[in-house]
């Protein structure tokens, strides 16, 4: 898959392949719990955490309600600092703008800090098609670029790759190093550090994303642990920031509110190692830093979410907590989702950005357990929005006929109490007979999705309604 | 119509014109009552300095205290020796570094490909999280913060702020306008290989802070 060629429409097939892929299963088995435990510990260590989530939600709602004013102020500040703002309505516009800046800089190599917006716009493929070499510098992004893949997690892009796979990859791709060298965690990281260190000095352009754009000061903010985003923007002569327009926050204080919940929700850190506020090009007396500073401000469907059922999604700060806590994501990994954004946030955002025709299956990939909403630092009602997408998919006749027939059948049953009572009585009797006194069923016709993986308990006693009526159930 | 006009028109159609008075107030008054102030961001006096050092150590930085900047060359020489680093340091033009470095070879300028040890001066410290605030420029080139294999930072104890609220107030009071403001919390790290945390990703492998005073 790529940004331009989502495999989202074949989501079910992707899921089957992911569940049968031993490497993905082994990587996912060891990855998820760490994030969950560390977030819980960070939350417990800060009594004000949930109140800060409320404040962050309110701040972002205020910002979205006044978005045009804040965007105008932000642009004013960037220009005053000597930077450029390029407004991009679509991914295609963003690609064109980035290429033009790179060509003007005579770029042969472009270093990249981690940016999901660049993934969304398919910048890497586009630059390569145009003879410019993009080099991903985030360690995880570097690994997946060498593998010819896209990120499977928004903050841990190579979470699906096992350690032996990384070692094999480095042996194959770092051919200038001794073939028999020992490769463990530490030496592999040192190796990537050494390989990329040289590249920082050769690139003409550095591209980073932005976790926030501050209207008050015109600064773009990146939050990283590795320092690659900073080397990518400080050493080349041109720095391009790729950001979507909902990244705006009003002031430094508002940025601090986000910082107080961002890393805690993402990795369980109180602060990520590097939080960098950039404004404009290097100052006259500066000995380092870029000579040009460009911000590509991307819409790509986001203004279409304003004022709709999906506006709340624009509060997302891309921490990844929803996918870290999602039983579906943890079972299938990020690539199965078939486009740039996986997990619950991806299930809501993808249909908004590439259309419900292509992305409509993702909102069905939820058990509606509600963990995503319960951990979301911006209190985004993700399950509610997935339900909205399911409704739209149904309204537009996009759901499979089996689902439509099933729902029609269920409606007929559920809206006729006498029929429902009798049907459940018959079903319960039938299941009991099929169980033949064993108390559980290893196989039920049409329910292979359940019984292939676990037994189905046989009904005991009467139906819920009959028990309720006879008063045996504790009320 | 330009892309800018189209986007802003769509925003205004969907979200309305916005409330100019409320926006001006938010941008102009820097009120801190929009969000709760965490207790861990309210330390004072000695407790503040101690919390800063404790939090910095918790994120794998090392910290030592010196009485004044005059003690810096000897303290730095000691640290370089104990880490088996060459007796050489690279700094910017910060006045704090205009001194007799004794046996240490002192050079100034931006970071180069190989930088075993670099030294910067922080504008502020943040006791809330053990974070340093550095401002880029000729006095403290930004590349020294990221290219040094071991990064040393000098921080005045008086510049340690309790939380973001007084950090930003202090920052605005200095009226600086650097190209980058770098908040640094420990040495660089990554868990991208097998979800196992390793120090020393692309930035420094080690971070040592001299708290002065």
Residues B98-139 pLDDT 10s: 999 999 999 999 999 999 999 999 999 999 999 999 999 999
Q: In chain A, what residues touch B37 (CB-CB under 8 Å)?
A: 48
For residue A245, give the chain B residue with the closest CA.
B7
A165 and A273 inside one domain: yes
Instruction: Determine whether the interchain pair B182/A256 forms a contact, defined as Cβ–Cβ distance below 8 Å.
Output: no
What angle separates helix A163-173 from helix A185-202, to the nearest 10 degrees? 40
For residue B172, give the chain A residue with the closest CA.
A252
A397 and A252 inside one domain: no
- The model's pLDDT over A451-469, given as tens digits with 9 standing for 90+, comes to 888 888 888 877 888 888 8
CA-based nearest residue to A70, from A192, A328, A248: A248
A286 and A354 inside one domain: no
Question: Which of A276-285, A388-397, B38-47 is least confident?
Answer: A388-397
- How far is A287 from A298, CA to CA, in rounded Å? 31
Confirm or reject contact between A155 and chain B (CB < 8 A). Answer: no
Decide if pLDDT at B87 tops 60: yes
A454 and A397 inside one domain: no
Question: Do B160 and B133 meet the contact criterion of CB atoms below 8 Å apart?
Answer: no
A216 and A250 inside one domain: yes
Q: In chain A, what residues touch B165 (CB-CB under 8 Å)?
A: 253, 256
Cα distance from B81 to chain A (closest Cα, Å)?
23
**The pLDDT of residue A449:** 80
Q: How many CB pairs under 8 A join A and B?
A: 272
For residue B134, give the chain A residue with the closest CA.
A276
Cα distance from A45 to chain B (closest Cα, Å)?
10
Q: Is residue A88 part of a domain?
A: yes
CA-based nearest residue to A152, from A323, A321, A400: A323
**Main-chain dihedrals φ then ψ at residue A138, nearest 5 degrees:** -60, 135
Instruction: Determine whether the interchain pair B195/A156 forms a contact, defined as Cβ–Cβ distance below 8 Å.
Output: yes
Q: What is the mean pLDDT of residues A108-118?
A: 96
pLDDT higher at A453 or B19: B19
**The pLDDT of residue A32:** 64
**The pLDDT of residue A151:** 92
Q: Is residue A462 part of a domain?
A: yes
Distance in Å from the first CA to the final CA of chain A: 53
A273 and A236 inside one domain: yes
Q: In chain B, what residues touch A69 (CB-CB under 8 Å)?
A: 18, 20, 23
**Given strand B131-135, what is the order of strands in its sheet?**
A248-249, A212-214, A219-224, A274-278, B180-184, B131-135, B124-126, B160-161
Q: Are strands B62-66 and B105-108 parallel, antiparallel or unpaired?
A: unpaired
Q: Which DSSP helix (H) or strand (E) runs through B45?
A: helix B45-58
- The dotted CATH code for B43-212 is 3.40.50.10420
A16 and A155 inside one domain: yes
Decide if pLDDT at A440 tops 90: no
CA-based nearest residue to A239, from A294, A178, A303: A294
| Binding-face residues of A in 336-375 toward B, CB within 8 A | none
Q: Is residue A406 part of a domain?
A: no
> By residue range, what is the domain housing residue A338?
321-401
Mean pLDDT of chain B: 96
For residue B112, give the chain A residue with the closest CA.
A201
Decide if pLDDT at A450 tops 90: no
For residue A185, give the chain B residue with the closest CA.
B193
- How far is A181 from A273, CA to CA, in rounded Å? 30
Instruction: Determine whether the interchain pair B30/A143 forms a contact, defined as Cβ–Cβ distance below 8 Å.
Output: no
Mean pLDDT of chain A: 93
Q: State the best of A69, A71, A111 to mutate against chain B, taking most chain B CBs within 10 Å.
A: A69
Decide if pLDDT at A473 tops 60: no
Q: In chain B, what residues touch A34 (CB-CB under 8 Å)?
A: 195
Question: Do A3 and A340 meet the contact criterion of CB atoms below 8 Å apart?
Answer: yes
List the structure tokens of A420.
């429902």
Q: In chain A, what residues touch B22 (CB-CB under 8 Å)?
A: 62, 66
A219 and A333 inside one domain: no
Tally the domains of chain A. Answer: 3
Decide if pLDDT at A321 tops 80: yes
A240 and A372 inside one domain: no
For residue A299, give the chain B residue with the closest CA.
B7
Domain end point (choices A370, A401, A432): A401
**Domain boundary assignment for chain B:** 43-212
- The model's pLDDT over A59-95, given as tens digits with 9 standing for 90+, comes to 999 999 999 999 999 999 999 999 999 999 999 999 9
Q: Is residue A123 part of a domain?
A: yes
Residue with the two structure tokens 């309604």: A465
| Binding-face residues of A in 266-325 toward B, CB within 8 A | 267, 269-283, 285-289, 297, 299, 303-304, 306-308
Decide if pLDDT at A421 tops 70: yes
A19 and A93 inside one domain: yes
Instruction: Determine whether the interchain pair B183/A163 forms a contact, defined as Cβ–Cβ distance below 8 Å.
Output: no
Q: Is residue A308 part of a domain?
A: no
Task: Choose the closest CB to B194 out of A185, A230, A306.
Answer: A185
Going by pLDDT thresholds of 50, 70 and 90, the confidence category of residue A475 is: low
Decide if pLDDT at A433 tops 70: yes
**The pLDDT of residue A472:** 59
**The pLDDT of residue B195:** 86
For residue B178, give the chain A residue with the closest CA.
A283
CA-based nearest residue to B1, from A87, A100, A68, A247: A87
Going by pLDDT thresholds of 50, 70 and 90, the confidence category of residue A474 is: low
Q: State the best of B15, B179, B184 to mutate against chain A, taking most chain A CBs within 10 Å.
A: B179
| Binding-face residues of A in 393-422 toward B, CB within 8 A | none
**The pLDDT of residue A64:** 98
Instruction: Determine whether the interchain pair A287/B110 forms a contact, defined as Cβ–Cβ distance below 8 Å.
Output: yes
- Judge residue A119's burial from the number of C-beta atoms within 10 Å of its C-beta, 0-12 exposed, 13-18 middle, 19 or more buried: buried
Polymer length of chain B = 213
- Three-class DSSP category at A289: coil
Confirm or reject contact between A52 and chain B (CB < 8 A). Answer: yes
Cα distance from B67 to chain A (closest Cα, Å)?
28
Q: Are strands B62-66 and B206-212 parallel, antiparallel or unpaired?
A: parallel
A326 and A274 inside one domain: no
Confirm or reject contact between A156 and chain B (CB < 8 A). Answer: yes
Which residues have a Cβ under 8 Å from the Cβ of A288 and sit 6 or more positions away?
A234, A235, A282, B110, B111, B136, B141, B142, B143
Confirm or reject contact between A62 and chain B (CB < 8 A). Answer: yes
Cα distance from A397 to chain B (closest Cα, Å)?
27
pTM assigned to the model: 0.93
Q: In chain B, what residues touch A308 (CB-CB under 8 Å)?
A: 14
Q: Is residue A2 part of a domain?
A: no
Cα distance from A77 to chain B (closest Cα, Å)?
12
């Amino acid at each position: 898959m790529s940004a331009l060629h989502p495999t989202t429409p074949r989501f079910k097939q992707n899921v089957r392949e992911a569940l049968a892929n031993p490497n993905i299963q082994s990587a996912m088995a060891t990855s998820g719990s760490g994030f969950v435990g560390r977030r819980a510990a960070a939350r417990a260590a800060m009594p004000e955490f949930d109140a800060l989530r409320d404040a962050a939600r309110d701040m972002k709602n205020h910002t979205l309600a006044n978005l045009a004013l804040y965007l105008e102020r932000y642009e004013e500040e960037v220009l005053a600092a000597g930077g450029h703002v390029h407004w991009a309505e679509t991914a295609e516009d963003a690609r064109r703008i980035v290429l033009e800046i790179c060509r003007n800089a005579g770029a042969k190599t472009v270093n990249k800090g981690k940016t999901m917006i660049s993934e969304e716009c398919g910048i890497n493929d586009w630059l390569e098609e145009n003879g410019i070499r993009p080099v991903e510098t985030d360690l995880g992004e570097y690994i997946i670029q060498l593998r010819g893949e896209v990120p499977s997690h928004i903050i841990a892009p190579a979470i699906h790759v096992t350690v032996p796979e990384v070692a094999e990859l480095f042996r194959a791709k770092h051919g200038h190093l001794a073939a028999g060298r020992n490769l463990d965690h530490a030496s592999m990281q040192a190796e990537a550090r050494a390989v990329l260190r040289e590249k920082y000095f050769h690139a003409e352009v550095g591209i980073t994303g932005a976790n926030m754009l501050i209207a008050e000061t015109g600064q773009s903010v990146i939050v990283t642990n590795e320092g690659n985003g900073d080397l990518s923007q400080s050493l080349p002569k041109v720095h391009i920031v790729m950001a979507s327009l909902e990244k705006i926050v009003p002031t430094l204080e508002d940025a601090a509110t986000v910082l107080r919940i961002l890393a805690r929700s993402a990795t369980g850190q109180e602060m990520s190692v590097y939080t960098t506020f950039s404004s404009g090009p290097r100052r006259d007396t500066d000995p380092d830093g870029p000579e040009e500073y460009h911000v590509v401000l991307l819409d790509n469907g986001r203004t279409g979410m304003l004022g709709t059922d999906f506006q709340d999604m624009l509060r997302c700060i891309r921490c990844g907590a929803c996918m870290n806590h999602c039983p579906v994501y943890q079972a299938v990994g990020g690539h199965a989702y078939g486009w740039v954004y996986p997990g619950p946030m991806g299930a809501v955002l993808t249909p908004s950005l590439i259309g419900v025709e292509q992305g409509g299956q993702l909102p069905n990939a939820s058990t509606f357990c509600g963990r995503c909403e319960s951990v979301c630092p911006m209190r985004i009602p993700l399950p509610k929005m997935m339900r909205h997408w399911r409704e739209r998919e149904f309204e537009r006749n996009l759901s499979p006929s089996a689902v439509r027939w099933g729902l029609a059948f269920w409606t007929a049953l559920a809206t006729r109490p006498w029929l429902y009572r009798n049907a459940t009585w018959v079903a319960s009797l039938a299941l009991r007979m099929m169980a033949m006194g064993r108390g559980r069923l290893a196989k039920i016709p049409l329910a292979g999705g359940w019984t292939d993986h676990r037994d189905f308990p046989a009904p005991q006693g009467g139906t819920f309604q009959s028990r309720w009526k006879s008063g045996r159930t504790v009320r | 119509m330009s892309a800018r006009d189209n986007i802003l028109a769509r925003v205004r159609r969907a979200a309305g014109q916005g409330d100019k008075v409320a926006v001006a107030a938010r941008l102009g008054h820097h009120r801190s009552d929009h969000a709760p102030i965490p207790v861990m961001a309210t330390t004072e006096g000695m407790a503040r300095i101690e919390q800063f050092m404790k939090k910095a150590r918790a994120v794998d930085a090392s910290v030592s205290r010196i009485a004044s900047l005059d003690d810096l060359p000897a303290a730095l020489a000691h640290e370089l020796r104990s880490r088996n680093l060459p007796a050489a340091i690279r700094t910017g033009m910060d006045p704090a570094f205009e001194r007799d470095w004794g046996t240490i070879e002192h050079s100034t300028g931006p970071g180069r490909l190989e930088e075993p040890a670099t030294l910067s001066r922080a504008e502020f410290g943040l006791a809330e999280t053990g974070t340093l605030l550095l401002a880029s420029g000729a006095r403290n080139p930004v590349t020294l913060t990221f290219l040094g294999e071991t990064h040393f930072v000098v921080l005045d104890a008086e510049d340690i702020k309790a939380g973001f609220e007084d950090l930003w107030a202090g920052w605005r009071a200095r009226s600086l306008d650097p190209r980058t403001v770098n908040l640094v919390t420990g040495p660089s790290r990554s868990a991208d290989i097998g979800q196992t945390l390793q120090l020393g990703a692309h930035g420094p492998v080690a971070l040592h802070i001299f708290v002065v005073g």
